[in-house]
Amino acid sequence: MKLLSATVLGLLPLALAESILVTFPSGTPDSVVEGAKKSIVDAGGQITHEYTLLRGFSANAPEKAIQQMSTESAAYKPNIEKDMTVTIQ
């Protein structure tokens, strides 16, 4: 029973997480992008994909991680948007 409770509590931050897409302006240093990813993981979120053509990644992140990441770098402000399916019809 304790194991089940620990598992449920461990997954709770991901259940409350939002699926987001984070992109940075070209020329953003790797340290800024890595810092953003670290803040998401430290807050209980997870990186779901790292992009190679874009300077960014997608993640499941709790609201507090999103707010913290958006204020970390004034010079290289991330563009944060909901990750969703896009169609052209």
Q: Per-residue pLDDT tens for 7-66? A: 444 444 444 578 999 999 999 999 999 999 999 999 999 999 999 899 999 999 999 989
Helix (H, G, I), strand (E, B) or coil at 57: strand
Q: What domains appear along the chain, each with residue ranges and CATH number?
A: 2-82 (3.30.70.80)
Q: Could you give the CA distance from residue 14 to residue 17 in angstroms, rounded to a whole number?
A: 5
**60: CB partners within 8 A, 6+ apart:** 14, 17, 18, 19, 20, 45, 46, 48
Residues 35-48 have pLDDT tens digits of: 999 999 999 999 99
Using left for φ > 0, alpha for ψ between -120 and 50, and beta otherwise, residue 77 falls in: beta
Residue 69 CB neighbours (<10 A): 23
User: Can you give the pTM of this predicted structure?
Assistant: 0.75
Is the per-residue pLDDT at 68 higher than 60?
yes
